[in-house]
A and B are shown apart, each in its own frame.
Chain A
Amino acid sequence: MFAELLQYMLSGLTIGAIYALAGLGFSIIYNASHVINFAQGEFIMIGGMASATLTASGVPLPLAILIGCGGAMLVGVAVAKFAVERARDASTVTLIIITIGASIFLRGLAELVWGKDFKRLDAFSGETPIQFLGASMQPQSLWVVGCAGVLIVAIGLFFNKTLTGKAMLATSHNRLAAQLVGIDVKRVVLASFALSAALGAVGGAVVAPITFSYTEMGIMLGLKGFTAAVLGGLGHGPGAVAGGLIVGVAEALGAGYISSAYKDAVAFVIILAVLLFMPNGLFGKRGAERV
């Protein structure tokens, strides 16, 4: 009984860590630009595909991840520069459609570059399961949770301790005031896309050995990250992380105890319930709706 529960919790936390990274990415971009970036999942995909294909052609793993990360950041900046920035004053609907367009475009490009088949990436430190109180865990899960943890702490420090981070925070609070004190708001937006892309790409690389890499891997991961961000209150970083873990664990428990077929629905049922009853998310501030 307990072993089963523990097993589900472990799988839930593993995938939840990826949702948390994706959710954090949504929040960072939302804070800087008020854009819901539907291409977040594609950053994850780029990380996963780049590391799988590069290592297959002999590039050492850490370098492959770095290249994937750099590639995703470039793509992120390009999306921000050539699409989002140009439509700066456009409506919410327009911005959503632009990022959806970007995500479809990136997926199509990835299919051309890498093909549509599944790619395999070996686990970072073997595949011998670790037995733990009757549950078994893949060593790769530790990598996922560990990497996500380190990144999340690093992001926290970045926003609270560095000047750039503080400038980005200031922009999210009051764009105009930030501009007045000399913050280059455009660069803040670019930086937020780069940062989110890097988070996504690393997430994609560490999760690839568990899920395989394929060009459509980012769709569901991205959408779940989005629900994580809304669940935690859009724009609330720690909230997004908590939201991601909650979605991941709820999903795993749902798959184990209710129905594995409805696993993917769990996140969206939660989000509908939250929207209907707690529209600001679990941790969002009241009055976060802006006219």
Chain B
Amino acid sequence: MRIRLLSTMAAVVGLTLGAVTGAASAADPIKVGAIISATGPASFLGDPEKKVLELYADRVNQAGGVAGRTVQLTVYDDGGAADKAASFTKRLIESDKVDVIVGGTTTAATMAAAPLVERGEVPFISLAGAVVIVEPVKKWVFKTPHTDRMAAEKVMDDLKKRGLTKLALVSEDSGFGKSGREQTLAVAKERGIELVADETYGAKDTDVTAQLTKIRNNAAAQAVLVFGLGQGPAVVTKNYRQLGITLPLYQSHGVASKEYIRLAGGAAEGVRLPAAGLVVASQLADSDPQKKVVVEFTKVYEEAFSSEVSTFAGHAYDGLMIALDAVKRAGGTDKAKLRDAIEQTKGYVGTGGIVTMSAKDHMGLSLDAFHMVEVKQGDWALVK
């Protein structure tokens, strides 16, 4: 039960600023809660997410807050465990009495929190990937990243372009991996791709050579797709090269972080994956409406943390900004009004794409903002 209680810094800064400017002193702060997997197997997703939330809560407060009110951020670390995510959600709702919750780094954490926010009627913006989070639509649950279904579609399209039709799948036994596997199976059927192998590995495994040996000995396989997040896919990538497999290797957007390239090292060369434009900000066309936002965000992030930006950092930024934007439009933090305002988000240009939500779509992203990238010389390169 590692607890990361409210980012005291942000709170202190916020309160002092509020007191100094005087404008917000009468109003209550906007209470934003967050459950993030800052440690554990998904830490390379959660760590930047936590940093971004703290950074931007600060920046917003320094700029005078939202509608004259400061942002008070409370972040808990679930360590990648769904049950802890649930108990921290309870704590955010019952004890900290937050107005909106951002987070759920992983699909599992999100799905564990979902029934609690539905019951507690608190708007909840998840940072996790699986399509099950928003399909079917849950009244109080939203999400910012692209779905695993979109990732599968993007990968299949790329396979077709390369004239490949037989795919081997290696998926993680986590919520994200399982949902990704289901989506891959479904999309493969639709697009006429044949799945010739279907292996799984554990999120904490440090050796998957046994599974990969089977794929190596499978003469039919023409390409391999790994569906997982965090450190596991880096292990798979390393073992893949160690076994001397030369088939094209695809990953999901669950690894769109420089951390993945660093861990897998040379083994990551040539790996392709779908990712938000954020990781290839400088390579986007100038006419791309996202360009300005992602370049600016990249600059702020890299100055603040002197490490390279990842798409996960972007998901957290989008989550916080959509929430605060909705507070502005709802004219306060009445939870029902806030929820409606989030659902009415329209044309918000974020790091993940342009978000237009509706009662039927609690994510609001289209496939356009998803780019196929390839690892080249230790960096991301836009494919075509």
Give the distance to chain B from A142, nearest Cβ to Cβ, in Å.
Answer: 13
Please state if A212 and B242 are interface contacts (CB–CB under 8 Å): no
Asked if residues A120 and B39 are in contact (CB atoms below 8 Å), the reply is no
Contact of A122 (CB < 8 Å), options: B214, B235, B265: B265
Is B263 engaged at the interface, CB distance under 8 Å to the other chain? yes
| Contact (Cβ within 8 A) A8 B231 | no
Q: How far is the CA of A142 from the CA of B44 in the complex (A)?
A: 31
- Asked if A11 and B262 sit within 8 Å, CB to CB, the answer is no
Interface residues of B in 247-274 (CB under 8 A from A): 259, 262-263, 265-267
Q: Is the CB of B266 within 8 A of A261?
A: no
Question: Chain B interface (Cβ within 8 Å of chain A)?
Answer: 39-40, 43-44, 47, 173, 199-202, 206-211, 213-214, 217, 231, 234-235, 241-244, 259, 262-263, 265-267
Kindly specify which of A62-70, A234-242, A252-260 makes contact with the partner chain.
A252-260
Contact A211 B210 (CB under 8 A): no
Q: Are B208 and A260 touching (Cβ within 8 A)?
A: yes
Query: Is A116 touching B210 in the complex (CB atoms < 8 A)?
Result: no
Choose among B241, B242, B265 the residue with the greatest number of A CB atoms under 10 Å from its CB: B242
7 A-B interface contacts by CB (under 8 A): A136-B243, A136-B244, A211-B206, A217-B206, A260-B211, A261-B200, A263-B210
User: Within 8 Å CB of A116, what residues of B?
Assistant: 39-40, 43
Is A118 part of the binding interface, using a Cβ–Cβ cutoff of 8 Å? yes
Q: Which residue numbers of A lie inside 8 Å of B, CB to CB?
A: 3-4, 7-8, 11, 15, 116-118, 120, 122, 127, 129, 131, 136, 138, 210-212, 217, 252, 255-256, 260-261, 263
Cβ-defined contact, A120 with B265, below 8 A: yes
Contacts A117-B259, A127-B242 aside, 18 further interface pairs with beta carbons under 8 A come to: A4-B213, A11-B207, A116-B39, A116-B43, A117-B44, A118-B234, A120-B265, A122-B265, A129-B242, A129-B243, A136-B244, A138-B242, A211-B207, A212-B234, A255-B211, A256-B213, A261-B173, A261-B202
Across the two chains, which residue of chain B brings its CB closest to A135?
Answer: B213
The answer to whether A118 touches B231, judged by C-beta atoms less than 8 angstroms apart, is: yes
**Contacting residues, chain A, for B40 (C-beta < 8 A):** 116
Smallest Cβ-Cβ distance to B265: which chain A residue: A120
In Å, the complex CA distance between A122 and B209 comes to 18
- A256: nearest residue on chain B (CB-CB)? B210
CB-CB under 8 A from A131, the residues of chain B are 244
B262's nearest neighbour on chain A, judged by CB, is: A120
- B210 near A8 (CB under 8 angstroms)? yes
Note all chain B residues with C-beta closer than 8 A to A122.
265
A263 to B214, CA, bound (A): 15
B residues in contact with A11, CB < 8 Å: 207, 209-210
Within the complex, the shortest CB–CB distance from B4 to chain A, in Å, comes to 12
Q: Which residues of A contact B266 (CB under 8 A)?
A: 127
B202 cross-chain contacts in A, Cβ below 8 A: 261
Structural contact, B213 and A212, CB atoms closer than 8 A = no
Q: How far is the CB of B249 from chain A (nearest CB, A)?
A: 15
Are A212 and B263 in contact, CB atoms less than 8 angstroms apart? yes
The docked-state distance in angstroms from the alpha carbon of A239 to that of B336 is 67
With contacts A127-B242, A261-B173 taken as known, whether A7 is within 8 angstroms of B209 at the C-beta atoms is: yes
Smallest CB gap from A140: residue in B: B242
Structural contact, A8 and B242, CB atoms closer than 8 A? no
Q: Which residue of A lies closest to B266 (CB)?
A: A127
Residue from B40, B206, B210 whose CB has the most chain A CB atoms within 10 Å: B210
A-B CB proximity, top 7 nearest: A255-B210, A211-B206, A129-B244, A256-B210, A136-B244, A138-B242, A260-B210
Assembled-state Cα–Cα distance A212/B231 (Å) = 10
B231 / chain A contacts, CB cutoff of 8 Å: 118, 212
Bound Cα distance A7, B206 (Å)? 17
Q: How far is the CB of B42 from chain A (nearest CB, A)?
A: 11
Q: How far is the CB of B156 from chain A (nearest CB, A)?
A: 26
Chain A residues positioned under 8 Å from B267 (CB to CB): 127
